[in-house]
Amino acid sequence: MLERLEQIRKTAETGLKNLQNMKDVENFRIKYLGKKGELTQVLRGLSQIPENERPAVGKLANEIRDYLEEQLQIIEKKIKKEEEEKKLKKEFIDVTLPGRRPVVGKKHPITRVLDEIKEIFIGLGFGIAEGPEVELDYYNFEALNLPPEHPARDMQDSFYITDKVLLRTHTSPVQIRVMEKMAPKLPIRIIAPGRVFRRDDDATHSPMFHQVEGLLIDRKVTFADLKGTLQAFVLQMFGESVRMRLRPSYFPFTEPSAEVDISCIICGGNGCRTCSHSGWLEILGSGLVHPKVLEMGGYNPEEVSGYAFGMGIERIAMLKYGIDDLRILFENDFRFLSQI
């Protein structure tokens, strides 16, 4: 039996030298020290060998076991350390490499123009109001002095949801909603930015676009107040060199009504393709709030008056940034957006 133990010791010692990785270590442990391992079996079978041989066999077997366990621990430590080092080498971080810049986003041109417009009117004492995008026919048309069958409804081809509900075609319904809420308090001084929807789709019209509405109601508001406010807006928005003119026009919800032009910001008023060689660009509609509209909003037209205006944001963004096709504003192509 002692001889067999010596044999085990010898093969185990060569085995130890060949251990390369943790898997080898594990297999070795099972082979010699595991439940059915060679040494374990000897120790288990001690009772079967003659009593006088037992102490010597037991002693040697224990010695070999202790020795192997000790060696295994040393080898295991070494392998673990090597594997750790290998891993570190693979994951080596070169701290001298230049960093990767994260892509910094930008505000969309529509948002930028909107922010600018808001800032100018807030500076003039206006507050911000909002209204729903899905609107009642009553607010979108009727209360704005556009009864059913009114021919001016044809100017705004609409998306109807039911007979009485539609996607708002302009931000003007917010005028009525704000008046209803405020009446009879004075003054009202708001702008209402938001999305509007029309059945239009070409290089200069999108079925969804943005407008900013303006409304001021107080005592003795005159056309001169409207003109002064718009002049202040145009100067801040487009610069000192830009001129403004009012042109008589018609809107059912204002009387009198005016369209506002600015001298062409591309050619300075000499005439070019953008201004159709007229030297002028139309930027908004405006007027004094129609007495019927004041009444619908809960105000007495004998006592109060007001002005209103509405402008398209995409149009202003196109002029400001020299964009000739409106649709690229909605394609979200980063190559375009990052040029602005």
With respect to ligand DAH, which residue has the nearer C-beta, 158 or 254? 254
- Shortest distance in whole angstroms from residue 301 CB to ligand DAH: 16
Tell me whether residue 37 or residue 314 sits nearer to ligand DAH (CB atom): 314
- Of the pair 283, 319, the CB lying nearest ligand DAH is at 283
- Least distance (Å) between residue 226 CB and ligand DAH: 9
**Which CB, 139 or 251, lies closer to ligand DAH?**
251
- Which CB, 64 or 315, lies closer to ligand DAH? 315
- Nearest approach in angstroms of CB 241 to ligand DAH is 26
CA-CA distance, 223 to 212, in Å (whole number)? 20
DSSP annotation string for 292-314: HHHHHTT--TTT-EEEEEEEEHH
- In the complex with ligand DAH, the residue whose CB is nearer, 42 or 172, is 172
Closer by beta carbon to ligand DAH, 68 or else 156: 156
Chain positions contacting ligand DAH, by CB under 6 A? 170, 172, 213, 251, 254, 285-287, 308-310
Helix (H) or strand (E) holding 28: helix 22-33
State the Cα–Cα distance between residues 322 and 317, nearest whole angstrom.
Answer: 8
CA atoms within 13 A on the CB side of 88: 6
Nearest distance in Å: CB 215, ligand DAH: 7
Give yes or no for a contact between 144 and 293, defined as CB atoms under 8 angstroms apart: yes
Pairing mode, strands 127-128 and 188-197:
parallel
Minimum Å gap between C-beta 144 and ligand DAH is 8
Q: State the DSSP string of 179-247.
A: HHHHTT-S-EEEEEEEEEE-S--BTTB-SEEEEEEEEEEETT--HHHHHHHHHHHHHHHH-TT--EEEE
Least distance CB 318 / ligand DAH (angstroms): 17
Angle in degrees, CA 202, 207, 213, rounded to 5: 115
Q: Tokens 């239009």 appear where?
A: 200
The residues, ordered by sequence, that sit 6+ positions from 221 with a Cβ below 8 Å of its Cβ are 288, 304, 305, 306, 307
Least distance to ligand DAH, CB of residue 104, Å: 35
Of 297 and 310, which CB lies nearer to ligand DAH in the complex structure? 310
Distance CA 145, CA 152 (A): 10
* Closest distance of CB 105 from ligand DAH, Å: 31
d(CA 157, CA 170): 11
